[in-house]
């Protein structure tokens, strides 16, 4: 007699959990049955809102992703749904194509986390799933049979083509004429798309460091090695900008003409300004320059994670027509259909890396990028993380800090300062009486403790993060 599995039971026992964006876990925990359980549960949630006959599917360049996609496709076929497979493409490319086709989709990706982990991102026909949808998936309680032989998947080109056309059709073909742009390709899911798109817009492109090994680029905690690389590349190749992304191509990593990486929230601010956005939803971890720059009618602060940003769009749409959001990691979410120079740009309420980069270059025109950054309120933010740090330990530290923030500051080496404000929207965010900000938060995607700091100089912000994380490892 063939085995019968239950989605809710399998998921609960799997060790895979929803984080800030999608379900994440160790590769060894994403067995074919667990992938099928998530897929069947997602299908059942989507079918509550109407019939589903097709579902789109794509992957990143992780070694484990193709087999996981096959398991998801097998489950779709079990459920009587045709999988539409687009191969290796950026997450926003898959989401955009699926939204145009009004079908749900699944992206197999672990984004920036190490290659021994992976994940699944789920999209409704109108964009990313909500936290309510996540809970519905976890409790869907679908019985399904053992998977048959996994299907062979042939990649279709439509998603990649539509994503590139979205931007090539928005700008003139000489937008980037005279610009030399480096594309740090590593193992990004979009590495085959970016150079041709930039050349189509008139740029001279230098391809940099393509890797056959998966590279877990974290746009929110850029390593010293990557900082040195960018400065060297900028000088060696006389670049006007460097463009890269995280593993699944939804978070940008952009350097100016000097090879200095821009913080993702500063890039988002400049993009939103260039798009003439009226109202923004951003996580509480973003640089306070976004709110203080005076360029937006409304700035709403949310918990960290794109589902929370997207959830705020509905409220902003009640009073504003041009709405958007972005995260400290740089992913830009366009929350409404807009026009740009009389050309339509459809909403894409999921993180995207290409739009903010192109809008930054459009805003710079024939000039350099660094003056755009210099014109903003000079608040500097820095972040880093402690890897392999148990979540329970992080939560205990935050609980103690919430009960007595002044005592936690003392343990972290911040003497002679007074707590001015405590924000627990997401983690523990402490504003000091000298205007420095220290923000501690467990990662929603991996056993890591993140630390964000903001100050009036980058050196001070970096020193705050280094000092806090250095002292935290000594805490019980």
**What ranges do the domains of the chain cover?**
4-159, 177-374, 380-472
pLDDT at 179: 97
**What 3-state DSSP class applies to 458?**
helix
pLDDT at 1: 36
pLDDT at 445: 66
**Quick one: which of 454, 249, 387 has its CA closest to 331?**
249
Instruction: Give the range among 187-196, 244-253, 380-389 with minimum mean pLDDT.
Output: 380-389
Reported as a pLDDT band with limits 50, 70 and 90, residue 219 is: confident
Instruction: State yes or no: pLDDT of 451 exceeds 60.
Output: yes
pTM greater than 0.85 = yes
Report which of residues 309 and 217 the model is more confident about.
309
Query: How many whole angstroms separate alpha carbon 339 and alpha carbon 278?
Result: 13
Instruction: State yes or no: pLDDT of 446 exceeds 80.
Output: no
User: What CATH number does domain 380-472 carry, 2.40.50.140, 3.90.730.10, 3.40.50.300, 3.30.310.50?
Assistant: 3.30.310.50
Instruction: State yes or no: pLDDT of 402 exceeds 80.
Output: yes
Query: How many whole angstroms separate alpha carbon 237 and alpha carbon 323?
Result: 37
15-47 pLDDT tens trace: 999 987 799 999 999 999 999 999 999 999 999
The answer to whether 342 is a known catalytic residue is: no
What CATH number labels 4-159?
Answer: 3.40.120.10
87-99 pLDDT tens trace: 999 999 999 999 9
Instruction: State yes or no: pLDDT of 228 exceeds 80.
Output: yes
Average pLDDT, integer, range 458-474 = 93
Reported as a pLDDT band with limits 50, 70 and 90, residue 237 is: very high
Instruction: State yes or no: pLDDT of 2 exceeds 80.
Output: no
Beta bridge partners of 243: 183, 254
Matching residue, tokens 């742009």 = 181
Give Cβ neighbours of residue 108 (< 8 Å, ≥ 6 apart): 57, 58, 59, 60, 62, 65, 68, 69, 72, 118, 119, 120
pLDDT at 167: 97
274-320 pLDDT tens trace: 999 999 999 999 999 999 999 999 999 999 888 899 999 999 999 99
pLDDT at 223: 80
pLDDT at 476: 53
As a whole number, the mean pLDDT across the chain is: 94
Reported as a pLDDT band with limits 50, 70 and 90, residue 415 is: confident
Longest Cα–Cα distance in the chain = 71
Instruction: State yes or no: pLDDT of 222 exceeds 90.
Output: no
Domain 177-374 has CATH 3.40.120.10: yes
145-160 pLDDT tens trace: 999 889 999 999 999 9
pLDDT at 99: 97
Buried b (16+ CB within 10 A) or exposed e, 373-411: beebeebbbbbbbbeebeeebbeebbebbeeebeebbeb
Average pLDDT, integer, range 255-260 = 97
Share of the chain above pLDDT 70, in %: 99
pLDDT at 447: 85
Average pLDDT, integer, range 429-441 = 96
**Quick one: which of 106, 107, 105, 93 has its CA closest to 355?**
93
Catalytic residue among 7, 64, 65, 111: 111
Share of the chain above pLDDT 90, in %: 87
Do domains 4-159 and 177-374 share one topology? The answer is: yes
Cβ atoms of residues 137 and 41 within 8 Å: yes
């Amino acid at each position: 007699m063939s085995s019968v599995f239950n989605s809710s039971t399998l998921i609960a026992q799997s060790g895979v959990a929803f984080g800030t964006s999608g379900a994440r876990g160790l590769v060894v925990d994403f067995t074919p049955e667990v992938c099928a359980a998530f897929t069947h549960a997602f299908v059942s949630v989507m079918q509550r809102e109407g019939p589903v006959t097709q579902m789109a599917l794509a992957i990143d360049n992780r070694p484990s992703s193709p087999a996981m996609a096959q398991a998801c496709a097998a489950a779709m076929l079990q459920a009587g749904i045709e999988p539409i497979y687009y191969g290796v493409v950026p997450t926003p490319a898959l989401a955009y194509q699926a939204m145009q086709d009004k079908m749900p989709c699944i992206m197999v990706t672990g984004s920036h986390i190490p290659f021994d982990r992976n994940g699944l991102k789920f999209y409704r026909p109108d964009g990313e799933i909500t936290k309510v949808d996540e809970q519905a998936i976890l409790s869907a309680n679908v019985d399904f049979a053992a998977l048959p032989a996994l299907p062979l998947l042939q990649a279709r080109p439509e998603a990649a083509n539509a994503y590139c056309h979205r931007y090539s059709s928005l700008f003139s073909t000489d937008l980037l004429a005279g610009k030399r742009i480096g594309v740090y390709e590593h193992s990004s899911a979009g590495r085959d798309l970016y150079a041709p798109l930039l050349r189509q817009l008139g740029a001279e492109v230098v391809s940099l460091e393509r890797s056959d090994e998966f590279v877990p680029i974290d746009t929110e905690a850029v390593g010293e090695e990557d900082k040195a690389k960018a400065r060297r590349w900028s000088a060696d190749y006389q670049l006007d900008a460097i463009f890269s992304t995280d593993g699944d191509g939804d978070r940008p990593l952009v350097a100016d003409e000097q090879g200095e990486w821009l913080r993702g929230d500063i890039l988002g601010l400049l993009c939103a300004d260039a798009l003439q956005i009226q109202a923004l939803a951003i996580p509480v971890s973003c640089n306070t320059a976004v709110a203080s720059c005076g360029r937006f009618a409304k700035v709403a602060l949310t918990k960290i994670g794109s589902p929370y940003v997207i959830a705020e769009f509905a409220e902003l749409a009640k009073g504003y027509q041009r709405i958007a959001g972005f995260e400290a990691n740089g992913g830009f979410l366009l929350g409404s259909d807009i026009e740009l120079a009389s050309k339509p740009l459809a909403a894409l309420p999921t993180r995207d890396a290409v739009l903010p980069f192109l809008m930054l270059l459009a805003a710079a025109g024939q000039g350099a990028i660094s003056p755009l950054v210099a014109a903003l309120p000079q608040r500097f933010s820095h972040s880093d993380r402690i890897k392999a740090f148990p979540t329970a330990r992080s939560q205990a530290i935050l609980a103690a800090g919430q009960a007595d923030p002044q005592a936690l500051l003392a343990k972290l080496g911040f003497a002679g300062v007074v707590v001015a404000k405590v924000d627990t929207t997401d983690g523990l965010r402490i504003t000091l009486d000298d205007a420095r900000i220290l923000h501690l938060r467990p990662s929603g995607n991996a056993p890591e403790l993140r630390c964000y700091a903001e100050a009036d100089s980058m050196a001070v912000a970096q020193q705050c993060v280094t000092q806090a994380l250095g002292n935290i490892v000594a805490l019980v």
